[in-house]
């Protein structure tokens, strides 16, 4: 009888919704989180660390954990458009490696730290649209 019951539960389990599927795991997750600091033009000193990234629909979405006071940490999403990366690669005759692609996200994060007036404003996603990618890379002589 127990075999019948477990088989029935297994069969019913295919039809019973158990919630949304789990999110796709992040790629490029560091083995150990390395907390880094950035002093923004606003005067705030941010701490941050990399959580990894996902490639979804022509956009690489990097995730960072950020704090401005060492007490409250929040997640920030930095999106980098593949179209802008491809445009840079075509204009410069070479592909960007993984470290250079990560540098775009990090530079966009730093720009947001500098441009946004407070840590509260940092809770909004950061975008690196195609036209900005070349300027970010130029700032580090790439």
pLDDT in tens, 73-130: 999 999 999 999 999 999 999 999 999 999 999 999 999 999 999 999 999 999 999 8
**Distance between CA 62 and CA 82 in Å, rounded?**
13
Mean pLDDT of all residues in the chain? 89
To the nearest 5 percent, what fractions of the chain are helix, strand and coil? 40, 25, 35
The predicted model scores a pTM of 0.82
Q: 104 φ, ψ to 5°?
A: -60, -45
Q: How many CB atoms lie within 10 A of CB 133?
A: 23
């Amino acid at each position: 009888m127990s075999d019948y019951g477990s088989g029935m539960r297994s069969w019913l389990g295919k039809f019973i919704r158990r919630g949304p599927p789990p999110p796709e795991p992040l790629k490029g997750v560091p083995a150990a989180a390395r907390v880094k600091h950035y002093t923004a033009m606003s005067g705030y000193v941010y701490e941050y660390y990399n959580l990894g990234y996902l490639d979804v629909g022509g956009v690489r979405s990097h995730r960072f954990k950020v704090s401005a006071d060492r007490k409250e940490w929040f997640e920030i999403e930095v999106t980098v458009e593949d179209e802008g990366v491809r445009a840079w690669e075509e204009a410069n005759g070479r592909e960007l490696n993984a470290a250079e692609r990560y540098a775009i996200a990090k530079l966009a994060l730093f720009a947001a730290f500098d441009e946004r007036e407070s840590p509260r404003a940092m809770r909004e996603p950061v975008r690196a649209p195609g036209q900005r990618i070349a300027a970010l890379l130029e700032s580090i002589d790439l």
